[in-house]
Chain A
Amino acid sequence: SQELEQSPQSLIVQEGKNLTINCTSSKTLYGLYWYKQKYGEGLIFLMMLQKGGEEKSHEKITAKLDEKKQQSSLHITASQPSHAGIYLCGADMGGSQGNLIFGKGTKLSVKP
């Protein structure tokens, strides 16, 4: 089984709709990173969460960390075509810093 599960694998939403992507770890989380990637391109850092209950927002994207559930969620409000891409969560599970375990990613398409 995967150490880090992301769901859903893909998502198609109408522009203006809200959406949530989940990331669940099988191990204790010491930090949880969210990145966005356009196919074949670099990873754009979105947010890092490291404390239970922590919540961060950037523009219309909000991420939360539920330490007890070993889970994080990424919520996009009023989605736009510019939000389309692959969202990746990366978990620090207590190894050396920077040794992140990544989920398989969630492919988001936003229909205008």
Chain B
Amino acid sequence: DSGVTQTPKHLITATGQRVTLRCSPRSGDLSVYWYQQSLDQGLQFLIQYYNGEERAKGNILERFSAQQFPDLHSELNLSSLELGDSALYFCASSIPRTTGRNTIYFGEGSWLTVV
């Protein structure tokens, strides 16, 4: 158990709909990252939040948005869903270090199926 909690674990929804994925980082971790894993694209970085503020953006579609709340949990909102959005969405978290790179821990993921 990495300590990163994601809900829901599985979600099936129709095209055109909107869903929200939720993530609770490990206790004490200030950074939250969202990744998408699909068969064709592999694992790709979407977006990072640090202590409530957006820190970095990756290959995130305009239909997708995220936020991090004061209690440090984060939500990834996916709207106008398309079949191609079906994927495993991961949340990860890390604690900032003054030197060196952070250890990044991933949650179990949320399986999204768009039908």
Residues of A near any B CB (own CB < 8 A): 30-31, 33, 35, 40-45, 48, 50, 88, 90, 92, 95-105
Query: A98 touching B33 by the CB < 8 A rule?
Result: yes
Confirm or deny: B56 has a beta carbon within 8 angstroms of a beta carbon on chain A: yes
Chain B contact residues: over half helix, strand or loop, or mixed? strand
Confirm or deny: B18 has a beta carbon within 8 angstroms of a beta carbon on chain A: no
Residues of B near any A CB (own CB < 8 A): 2, 31, 33, 42-45, 48, 55-56, 58, 88, 90, 92, 94, 96, 100-109, 111
Given the complex of chains A and B, what is the CA–CA distance between A32 and B99 in angstroms?
16
Residues of B within 8 A of A40 (CB): 88, 109, 111
Query: B45 touching A99 by the CB < 8 A rule?
Result: yes
Give the number of residue pairs across the A-B interface with Cβ within 8 Å. 65
On whether A96 and B56 interact (CB within 8 A), knowing A41-B108, A42-B109, A44-B2, the answer reads: yes
Query: A50 touching B101 by the CB < 8 A rule?
Result: yes
Nearest 10 A/B pairs, CB to CB: A96-B56, A31-B101, A42-B108, A43-B106, A102-B43, A98-B33, A99-B45, A50-B101, A98-B48, A99-B56
Given the complex of chains A and B, what is the CA–CA distance between A103 and B106 in angstroms?
16
A45-B2, A48-B103, A100-B104 known; 12 new pairs, CB 8 Å cut-off, are A31-B101, A41-B109, A42-B106, A42-B109, A43-B106, A45-B105, A45-B106, A88-B43, A96-B55, A97-B94, A99-B45, A105-B42
Given the complex of chains A and B, what is the CA–CA distance between A99 and B94 in angstroms?
12
In the complex, what residue of chain A is closest to B94 when comparing beta carbons?
A98
Given the complex of chains A and B, what is the CA–CA distance between A50 and B103 in angstroms?
11
In the complex, what residue of chain B is closest to A31 when comparing beta carbons?
B101
